[in-house]
Amino acid sequence: MAAPSPAAGGSAAENPLTLLTLDELRQRTSVKWRMHSSDVLPLWVAEMDVPLAPPVADALRRAIDLGDTGYAYGRAYAEALGDFAARRWGWHSFRVDHATVVPDVMMGIVEVLRLVTDPGDAVVVCSPVYPPFYAFVSHAGRQVIEAPLGPDLRMDPAALDEAFRRARACGRRPAFLLCNPHNPTGVVHRRDELEAVAELARRHGLRVISDEIHAPLVLPGTHFTPYLTVVGAENGFALTSASKAWNLAGLKAALAVAGPQAAADLDRMPEEVGHGPSHLGVIAHTAAFRADGQWLDLLLDGLDGNRTLLETLLAKHLPSVAYHRPEGTYLAWLDCTALGIPTEQPDGEPGVASEIAGPAQMFLDRARVALSSGHVFGTGGAGFVRLNFATSPAILTEAVTRMGRAVDELHPSTS
């Protein structure tokens, strides 16, 4: 496995994905490392096997040394995101006064839904999609309508048109919850696709809420387009944070950003929502966006290497599993339908992210590799698994080798 190394930091030029050993990672107490027993390689939930980026660790250390652990205040987080967004994505129209701090991206989505939809209204999602899109929307008393992705895993304008029409018919103030980059497929929506979304949403009277939490993780060869930079998107919202790209899910703080025609709606956000984010979270996310630069680029190079390594490993050990090379995120959406594993789904709605069935259950039982089960991502997910490749090449190699062995044992005659 990965060479022994200090448990934090690493030298400036190293791939952050190679700095921690499996023994070090197993000392972590987060859900990735504690949900399953210690013989399981966990490649499921969206946490990364990296030490904290040095600028983030320094900012947190400084806060702790100062006892700076009170309540969050000010606009530094929004300013840091604004500068990052201008540098990285050319989002020069970003308005700090149109951004507000929310506890995390999912709670921010719920709070924006409360501003622009009513109980019982419809929220359209492109399935298969991040399971909490179902759970949080339903829990907020809104109903989910699916617009399934096309066979190329990109948004399907005809399915969107139909879903938007149905959403309009069943409620007064419907919304579209966009995921860009898309989890679990890693597709990064192009500007022309986003313009088509904005035009359709205007035509049918839906408000668009764009979840852009994976945006800093767009991989070499692809460019990220923020939804709010698109013509027609002026009444939309974006939600983001440094949580995915700097592995800060445990340090709660995110930003809701309004387009110019949505700023008045965002102003109606109840003050108490701003009490949810943690001050240490705000410090960490601000430091991450401020630092930009070398650490993130080394991470993206490492993830780029892993997405190619995964392609090679799958071709060698699991040739019947289909892999669409992701353009962003560290998630690989693997089509395991050709393995012929029964995919009956447990009762209930999609959305329970930790529920396992079908191929994911087989890989957990026989390979001792934990993956996310496709069926919880909604229509189109059964028979797939989502693999998180934000780990060391050594762990990735071991996991896919074990998965291949499990399939060979399952179908000995074909191996």
Ligand X SMILES: Cc1ncc(COP(=O)(O)O)c(C=O)c1O
- Sites of contact with ligand X (CB under 6 A): 46, 104-106, 130, 179, 183, 211, 213, 241, 243, 249, 254
| Pairing outcome for strands 384-388 and 143-146 | unpaired
| Nearest approach, Cβ of residue 13 and ligand X (Å) | 28
Q: Which residue lies nearer to ligand X by CB, 25 or 126?
A: 126
Q: From 352, 411, 410, 415, select the one nearest 44 (Cα to Cα).
A: 352
Q: Which residue lies nearer to ligand X by CB, 46 or 59?
A: 46
| Nearest approach, Cβ of residue 406 and ligand X (Å) | 26
Q: Which residue lies nearer to ligand X by CB, 9 or 274?
A: 274
Q: Which residue lies nearer to ligand X by CB, 179 or 339?
A: 179
Contacts 24+ apart (CB under 8 A), 349-352: 349/134, 349/135, 349/138, 350/127, 350/131, 350/134, 350/375, 350/376, 350/377, 350/378, 350/379, 350/381, 351/131, 351/132, 351/133, 351/134, 351/135, 351/138, 351/376, 351/378, 352/131, 352/135, 352/376
Whether 338 and 322 have beta carbons less than 8 Å apart is answered as: yes
Whether 41 and 395 have beta carbons less than 8 Å apart is answered as: yes
| Nearest approach, Cβ of residue 243 and ligand X (Å) | 5
Q: Which residue lies nearer to ligand X by CB, 241 or 286?
A: 241
| Nearest approach, Cβ of residue 180 and ligand X (Å) | 9
Query: How far apart, in Å, are the Cα atoms of 406 and each of 195, 345, 363, 373, 396?
Result: 44, 21, 7, 17, 15
| Nearest approach, Cβ of residue 39 and ligand X (Å) | 25
Q: How far apart are CA 204 and CA 341, in angstroms?
A: 40
Q: What is the DSSP string of 112-132?
A: HHHHH--TT-EEEE-SS--TH
What residues does 240 pair with on adjacent strands? 255
| Pairing outcome for strands 369-370 and 331-335 | unpaired
Q: Which residue lies nearer to ligand X by CB, 53 or 254?
A: 254
| Nearest approach, Cβ of residue 241 and ligand X (Å) | 5
φ, ψ of residue 12 to 5 degrees: the values are -55, -30
The three-state secondary structure class of 322 is: strand
The three-state secondary structure class of 387 is: strand
Q: From 48, 103, 128, select the one nearest 329 (Cα to Cα).
A: 48
| Nearest approach, Cβ of residue 378 and ligand X (Å) | 13
| Nearest approach, Cβ of residue 139 and ligand X (Å) | 13
Q: Which residue lies nearer to ligand X by CB, 21 or 372?
A: 372
| Nearest approach, Cβ of residue 315 and ligand X (Å) | 27
In this chain, which residue has its C-beta nearest to ligand X?
104
Q: Which residue lies nearer to ligand X by CB, 353 or 406?
A: 353
Q: Which residue lies nearer to ligand X by CB, 146 or 398?
A: 146
